[in-house]
Amino acid sequence: MSENESDKFAEDDLSLSSHALSALNEFFLEQQEQQQRFEQLKQSSSIQIYSDTEQDKANGVHMDFFKEDWQLSQFWYSKETTDIIIQEVLMHTSEEDRVACISTPTVFVKLKSITPALKRSIYLFEFDTRFDIYGSDFFRYDYKTPTEFRDCSKLRNTFDFIVVDPPFLSEDCFTKTMITVRWLGKKDTCKILLCTGAVMQDLADRLVKARMTSFYPQHQGGLANEFRCYINYQSQNIKLD
């Protein structure tokens, strides 16, 4: 290799390194700005959240703000899927009912964005503490300890509708999450909408009497596993499979 060629390759390497460094700096800057916005929201005494996309962005709280963390097995629902689930919640609850969103922040954030604000009491049970900007409506939740969360005893058998999506596709995770569902739900009357893999069909029926439907929940980035929706109640919009 000639000296000129050697210099050219060195310049290419330097150019590539500069580009990579610029991308890395941009990433860290974005992370820093996001963290600052979280801190501002935490300091706010109350959070006004709107359904309109532009209003959401102006206020600083919308689902795009929460980047998926694949290490936590986070895969946000598509807009169409979220809207279908929201419709189910609204159709099958009344104003005084209590709704629990277990590991389903996409649904929770959307419910909280509806204006005028719903009179239903809506809570999120979630491992990701970024959502603690919602204050007392957020419960730090780890499926590994299914009945160990704030006000656990007070919340037992108090919820009318539960939307749940176990974070990991394993029998252990599913079973422990269903322990939480049975703990929170009102006995014999709580409506359950469950999103999980098709392989969990038998467990869903056995543990919470939820049956597979013809509704296939979709995710923004796609998901390789066959994902299905299960319910334990009669629905006009979601038919049993």
* Minimum mean pLDDT range among 18-27, 137-146, 163-172: 18-27
Q: What is the pLDDT of residue 111?
A: 94
Class of CATH domain 53-231: alpha beta
Where does the pLDDT of residue 208 fall: very low under 50, low under 70, confident under 90, or very high at 90 and above? Answer: very high
pLDDT, mean of residues 111-119: 89
Structure tokens at 100: 């629990």
Domain residue limits, the chain:
1-43, 53-231
Sequence-distant (≥ 6) Cβ neighbours of residue 227 within 8 angstroms: 195, 196, 197, 198, 216, 217, 218, 219
Which amino acid does the sequence have at 225? Answer: N
Q: What is the pLDDT of residue 113?
A: 87
Which amino acid does the sequence have at 135? Answer: G
Is 234's pLDDT higher than 70?
A: yes
Query: What is the number of other CB atoms lying within 10 angstroms of the CB of residue 120?
Result: 18
Is 15's pLDDT higher than 90?
A: no
Closest of 76, 15, 6 to residue 221, by C-alpha:
76
Where does the pLDDT of residue 204 fall: very low under 50, low under 70, confident under 90, or very high at 90 and above? Answer: very high
Q: What is the pLDDT of residue 63?
A: 59
Mean pLDDT, the chain, integer: 82
Whether residue 227 contacts residue 211, with contact meaning beta carbons closer than 8 Å, is answered with no
Which amino acid does the sequence have at 99? Answer: V
Whether residue 161 contacts residue 122, with contact meaning beta carbons closer than 8 Å, is answered with no
How many CA atoms, within 13 angstroms, populate the side-chain half-sphere of residue 211? 9
C-alpha to C-alpha distance for 21 and 27, rounded to whole angstroms: 10
* Cα Dmax for the chain: 81
